[in-house]
Structure 1
Amino acid sequence: MGGVSERALIDVEKVRAAALRPAGAWASVDVVDAAPSTNTLLLEIAAQAEREGEPLAAPAALAAEHQTAGIGRAGRTWETPPRAALTVSTLLRPAASADALGWLPLLTGVAVVRVLRAAGVPASLKWPNDVLLPAADEVDGFGPWRKVAGILAQGVPGGDGVVVGVGLNVTQPAVELPVPTATSLALAGAPESALDRTALLTAYLAELAAVVGRWAADDGDVHAPGPGGGPSLADEYADRCATLGASVRVELAGGAGVVEGRAAHLTVDGALVVARDDGSVRMVTAGDVHHLRRA
């Protein structure tokens, strides 16, 4: 994996050649040397454009070679070493109802998993915002998995767009990871070709545009059949989600308590339905999901 000097910069011109219109779907793609958080920076850019009366054209993508204060769920922050991860945020304005927007981070996860599986990496999803890789042993909260990527969606203040950020660990060794439950593509033994951040960013932007474009074309209906009567986006998510069917403990947002049971299915707006041992069910719209160890 080597030192920082051996980690290649993202070739932004190569990404633009494939992603920008008319070759691709994107209005803009930018890469900065460093940012506290790509989500925060893109939100600031989009909000300023709204105030000036010239909304930022969407979809737009912003990546950083070095993120110093990435934002996760519940306000958690972390730093990624220079050129070791793919940290990218996108401004999206999908033609979908507000009730359907809960699916946006879930569908972003579908796009990430499509990219990783196409590269030979057996990735799966953890509701609502993590991407997982299989592990040889089990740990509390993740079971036989480790987190390789996180996703965070935030609305643009004063605007109608949504910024969705992805932080994907690529070449970090264990000592550079923020927590023991994390992993990176390199640490998990991914093929060398899967560690090219230029290729990863190019593929991710293509898949995200395809997923969100299909979703918007179906008026935000994730259950609409795919092309030729193929699986719906909801079916694709469920097929790739390690949480569904697992025994879980959910710490509800805002300290509202804990729910334990089996993760049964998702609602039409992307909430998780947990079936408890007493036969009751609980719908969870936000919270930290812990996969319980298997007996």
Structure 2
Amino acid sequence: MTSAHDDQTPPDDGRPALRADFLRELLVAPAGPLARLEVVAESPSTNAELARAVAQDPDAWPAPALLVAEHQPAGRGRHGRTWTTPPRAALLGSLLLRPAVPRAALSWLPLLAGLATARALRATAGVDAVVKWPNDVLVPDPGAGSPPPLRKVAGILAEVLPDGGVVVGVGLNVTQTRDELPVPTATSLALAGAATTDREVVLVALHEAFGEILARWQDAGGDAHAAGLDADCAGIIATLGTRVRVERVGGGDVVGLATGLAPDGGLELRHDDGTTSVHHSGDVHHLRPHD
């Protein structure tokens, strides 16, 4: 696989290309947390492409390795959903990990990636990013109403590979205009009034934050509670304390108050009849009080 844009002049459309060599200087060891970083002009799905590359030549992809695409015409989300982004308008990347933790602990990875993304956006873009359990990052969108409603700015997809590795994909909307967004409930950093829409600045901050969080998690043997990461995640998850409806993958909706995170990162609900349940997947909808 060859990297793109290393020696190309950035397009003169207000959306400059990522400089792969510059990013390697900052993010690849010994300066940064990564073992390899590649930027490609286009990928149908960075998760699928990285998984395929690792299967074909695992020695060429030592973890942690990052694959970033400038354009993704058929990105994959949860439950097989697809979406597209204009070239150079978003950060679209997948990170290969081989964490030294029990397999059962891998269920925390989407939440940890969400925590890292929200922290990086707060620090660099100055937006009040929060997480909607389990894998969406939301920011206030001033142009969508008053008070500004929370809109999705990033999505996360974690997939376990046959060899035990994990690919964590993040798609972050950066400079899309409103008519370039895939759904009305989405937004971008530009629309959210971010202090910066420099994708290189955000990418570096994101992976520095994720590297610090992963180190804490692995040092604790994958025990999110021992690492204090369960509390960190709970503190940034807007779903908690909210009445929600969970659309379960197998069918049927469940409604209740989101009261906390289970030891494996699942969402704990308390129902109107006093019973409780824990959910590990499904689409979550935040309900207004009268709903």
Q: TM-score, normalised by structure 1?
A: 0.90
Q: 1:170 matched to which residue of 2?
A: 174
Contiguous gaps of at least 5 residues in structure 1: 226-231
1:5-44 paired onto structure 2 within 5 Å: 5-44=13-52
Aligned mates of 1:97, 1:86 — CA distance in 2: 30
For residue 55 of structure 1, report the CA deviation from its aligned partner.
6.6
Q: TM-score, normalised by structure 2?
A: 0.91
For residue 187 of structure 1, report the CA deviation from its aligned partner.
0.6
Contiguous gaps of at least 5 residues in structure 2: 1-10
For residue 134 of structure 1, report the CA deviation from its aligned partner.
2.0
Q: CA RMSD in A?
A: 1.8
Aligned mates of 2:66, 2:214 — CA distance in 1: 14
Q: 1:233 matched to which residue of 2?
A: 229
Taking every aligned residue pair, what percent have the same amino acid on both sides?
52
Which one has more relative contact order, counting CA pairs under 8 Å at least 6 apart? 1
1:293 matched to 2:285:
no
The answer on whether the counterparts of 2:40 and 2:68 sit within 8 Å (CA) in structure 1 is yes
The structure that is strand-richer by fraction is 1
Instruction: Provide, for residues 107-133 of structure 1, a one-character-per-residue CA deviation record: whole Å limited to 9, x for no partner.
Output: 001110111010211100000000001
Aligned mates of 2:21, 2:198 — CA distance in 1: 15
SS class of match (2:70)? strand
Aligned mates of 2:76, 2:243 — CA distance in 1: 28
Aligned mates of 1:187, 1:134 — CA distance in 2: 9
For residues 8 and 275 of structure 1, do their structure 2 counterparts lie closer, same or farther at Cα, with a shift above 3 Å needed? same
Q: 1:229 matched to which residue of 2?
A: none
Q: How many residues align?
A: 277
1:152 to 153, 157, 164: 157
Q: Which amino acid aligns with 1:149?
A: A
Aligned mates of 1:205, 1:247 — CA distance in 2: 32
For residue 279 of structure 1, report the CA deviation from its aligned partner.
0.2
The answer on whether the counterparts of 2:42 and 2:72 sit within 8 Å (CA) in structure 1 is yes
Q: 1:131 matched to which residue of 2?
A: 137
The answer on whether the counterparts of 1:39 and 1:89 sit within 8 Å (CA) in structure 2 is yes
Q: 1:104 matched to which residue of 2?
A: 109
1:113 to 104, 118, 137: 118
Aligned mates of 2:102, 2:168 — CA distance in 1: 17
Q: Which amino acid aligns with 1:44?
A: R
For residue 138 of structure 1, report the CA deviation from its aligned partner.
8.9
SS class of match (1:132)? strand
